[in-house]
Structures are given as C-alpha cells and as structure tokens.
Amino acid sequence: MVTYLVIGASQGIGLALADALSKNREDKVIATQRKESTELRKLTERKNVVILNLDVADQKSIAEFGEKLKATVDSIDIAIFNSAVAKATTPLLETTAESWTEHFVTNSLGPVLVYPQVHPLLLKSDIRKVFFMSSTAGSIQEQVPYPVDAYGASKAHLNYSVRKLSQELAGEHFTIVLLHPGTVSTNAFNAVVSILAGGDTELEEGARNMAITPETCAQQILAAIKALEEKDNGRFVQISDLENVSF
C-alpha cells in the first residue's frame, strides 16, 4: 500500500491525478481542496480517498492542515505539490503589485511553507518521493515567449527553493523533483490562452489543440512518479519524456 498526498486536487491536473491514483484501491490518497469541490468529493465514494482542507496562501490554514494530516495518516510515501494560480497575462511594466503578490504567495511561498508540515510524515516512509509542479514558464534560461511574468517569476522562485531543499536533504534518501506537466487543457490554461490570444480565434484554437487532457497528463505523472528515483533528486524534468528542463 502506498500513501499519496496531492496538494491542490479540486480541479484540473490535481483532480485527474487524485482520480488516477485512487483507482488502485489498495493505495490511499489524501487530497486537498481550499473550497468544496464536488468532483473531488465524488472520489471519496472510493473509500481510499480522504479530503483535507488547505489554503496554501493562509498560514492558519497551513497549521490546521498539518494537525489534521498527522491525525489522518502515520506516514506519507509520495507527496505531490500541485497547487498554483496562473492568472498572469502581462509584461513586467504592466504587472500590478496585487498580481505579483498573489502569484508569489500562492506559488512560491505556499509549497515552501506547507512542506515542513509534510516532512515528518515523509521521514516515516522509505519511499520519500516529493514532486513539485513547476513550469517551463519558470525557466530563467529558456524564457517562454509570452507575457506571464508574475507566474513565471513565482515558479522560478519555487525552482530555486526546491533545488535547495533537495540539496539540504541529500543523504536522507529523498527523491525531490520539479515537474513540467506540458500544456494541459485545464480551466487555468484555457482562461490565460483566451486573454493572451486577444480575440485571435485561430491562435486560441491552435493553442488549445496543442494541449493534452488532464487525464493524459495524470497518466504521464504516474509514469514519472514510478520512474524517478533517488539518483534524480534535484532535477527539473518534463513529464512526457523525463528530459531535463533548464533552471
């Protein structure tokens, strides 16, 4: 039996992942939501899914989540930090303080502040695999050609922190890896594409056609989770082929 934790499982990739992971009834899936998700709630019909509430942008919520997590499971084998906001559609000069703050608090600080609540439970497992959902938008070297500055910078910060964490825990048999899921047709992706396309329906349709479904993405994540091992600790990879993404 494997115990999984999926942070941010109310919709999109996280929901598809919780669904895929919980199909194996011998495994247990702890899935988080920040507000009630009907679709995630439906998964609890499978008795191996437990929902915990968590808003990663709220320190009180993080502390309460930590307590509930300890009361729910003795150990966690594999944790996936998936939650994020992706609302940035502006270049730096047009990005508001509110947008910088929302992306940084949720995407950069959120996983970093939640991780210490999960760490003691990972130490109780021999598997100790931890995955953080990043994005090529957070690559400083590769620079995506779209004005998603607040989102990209927040993921670059996440990449830095996770790489540091992987080094700081080296020798303790962890596998800590940043994942780029590819282009995935979720509400967040579709909303950003609509704004960036600015009414160019051909462009918008082209971008949407490039995207894989959350279900396909979840299958690729499952394969990645299985394949990635301690020797991969500290890497930033795309899930489609586990090739490196530049930091």
Ligand X SMILES: NC(=O)c1ccc[n+]([C@@H]2O[C@H](COP(=O)([O-])OP(=O)(O)OC[C@H]3O[C@@H](n4cnc5c(N)ncnc54)[C@H](OP(=O)(O)O)[C@@H]3O)[C@@H](O)[C@H]2O)c1
Active site residues: 151, 155
CB of 36 to ligand X, least distance (A): 9
The yes or no reply on residue 22 touching ligand X (CB under 6 A) is no
- 34 near ligand X, rule: CB under 6 A: yes
Residues 49-108 that bind ligand X (CB under 6 A): 54-57, 82-86, 106
DSSP output for 216-236: HHHHHHHHHHHH--GGGTT-E
Q: Is residue 190 part of the contact set for ligand X (CB under 6 A)?
A: no
Q: Count how many residues are written for the chain.
A: 247
Sheet holding 236-238, edge to edge: 49-53, 28-33, 3-7, 78-81, 129-133, 175-180, 236-238
Min dist. Cβ of residue 172 to ligand X (A): 25
Select the residue interacting with ligand X from 133, 165, 176, 193 (CB under 6 A): 133
* Structure tokens, 4: 């999984």
208 binds ligand X (CB under 6 A): no
User: Shortest Cβ contact with ligand X: which residue?
Assistant: 12
Query: How far from 210 is each of 15, 105, 138, 186, CA to CA, in Å?
Result: 21, 30, 20, 12
Residue 13 binding ligand X, by CB under 6 A: yes
Place of tokens 């300890």: 70
Identify each DSSP E strand in 113-204 by its residue range.
129-133, 175-180
- Verify binding: residue 4, ligand X, rule CB under 6 A: no
Kindly list the residues in this chain that would bind ligand X in the complex (CB under 6 A).
8-14, 34-35, 54-57, 82-86, 106, 133, 135, 180-181, 183-184, 186-189
